[in-house]
A and B are shown apart, each in its own frame.
Chain A
Amino acid sequence: MLNRGVEPDINLMSRLAQGDERALEELYRRYSPSLYALLLRMLQSREEAEEILQDSFVQLYREAARYQPERGAVVAFLFTIGRNFALSRLRNRKARPQKVEAHDLHNPEQELGLWREDDPTDRVLVRRALGRLEPTDRKLLEEAFYDGYSHSELAERHHMPLGTVKTRLRRALLKLREYLGGTPVSEEA
């Protein structure tokens, strides 16, 4: 995972719940580059991504006392906060942002030398797992996750029945879990 620190994230969250500024600083150090990358991909705007990144960590601090480890990892908790903020922002816009072709931060051909210091094994594994998904399923999953398209919007964009979109999305996520070493998909959707 992204956690490279000695102190577990859960401990940092306990300290944060007691108002420890250093704990928030450490969580920010660990996760802000990945969350910022996600927000840039979703919003395609540096200004808005910075704003939502700020909001996300402030919200993480405010909700630290409510965090329950059995409900998921700290990184998922944080990313859920950040993604929800970004989705609200996207849904308030009249149109979805278009990818900025001239300067795409997430085009691997245009690396900016800002990669994490650690071994990018996770990144390779995730890319490989995504590559094993059926291309349309992958596209649906990425458009739902990054662009916040609803089932009906995806059905319209891909000229598919609504039920098919739901089935494919569910299948994509379950397959991804399997490819990343989780529970195998027990049912063919």
Chain B
Amino acid sequence: MKDLRELLPDYALGLLEGEEKTRLEQALQTSPELQKELAELRAVLFKLPESLPPVTPPRRVWAQVRRRAFPRRDFLRWIAVALVLVGLGWGGWGVEQYHRYRVLAEEQARLARWLSDPEVKWQLIKNDQGQAFGAMLWREEGPCLMVLREPPPPGKVYQAWGRKSGEKPVSLGVFSGRIFETNYEGFDLMGVSLEPPGGSPQPTQPLGRVPTS
């Protein structure tokens, strides 16, 4: 045992090789005394770095260690982030759908009120080629409702116009749904155009018109 003990300092320093190293390692498996002495020598040896000023490593090192040691958790974290984003997406989509539903319900309710009124008259709104793309409902005292077959294409709005003969058209407002309630009193023609969001001072893409008398 004594000669094996003498090999311990070299072993602790990593300087033992070959047959001596094998013999010592075998003995270490079964000898608590040798294990204890080796532990003591290693403890002393690794006091040497304490004579050096410690240096804080850059933060990226820990980030790399974490990523390598716990890659699955990193993956799970990404999954969690993705789920949250999907949830937010679904939430946003849900809010958008609810908003659309409400607009549609309001349009239907308004249309039902107009159609149930026995005093209401109606006329097709046609383009220059004579094709109808909507209708205008009106009452004698002036109120009218423009009803279009399709909603405006993405990035565009409808703009309603009123016009007296020989004068420039007057904007009555913009709308992005399929119905628009306004008043035709004082105008000879009522028209609809397609415009960029916010509308235009004058019609840039007229769709069609309808006479009021």
Contact = CB atoms under 8 A, between A and B. Distances in A.
Contacts of B12: 173
B48 A126 contact: yes
B45 interface: yes
Contacts of A127: 51
A38 B52 contact: yes
A115 B44 CA distance: 21
B121 interface: no
Contact of A50 (B43, B54, B58): B58
Nearest to B14: A87
A79 B55 contact: no
B50 interface: yes
Contact of B44 (A54, A123, A173): A173
A123 B54 CA distance: 10
A84 B14 contact: yes
A12 interface: no
Contacts of A13: none
A182 B44 CA distance: 9
A36 B38 contact: no
B39 A83 contact: no
B106 interface: no
A111 interface: yes
Contacts of A32: 56-57, 61-62
Contact of A177 (B36, B41, B50, B61): B41
Interface in A114-131: 114-116, 122-123, 126-127, 129-130
A43 interface: no
A176 B9 CA distance: 11
A158 to B, nearest CB: 15
25 contacts: A2-B50, A33-B57, A34-B49, A34-B54, A35-B49, A36-B54, A36-B55, A37-B49, A50-B60, A54-B68, A71-B38, A79-B49, A80-B42, A105-B55, A114-B56, A115-B54, A145-B13, A145-B48, A169-B9, A169-B15, A170-B6, A170-B10, A176-B44, A176-B47, A180-B47
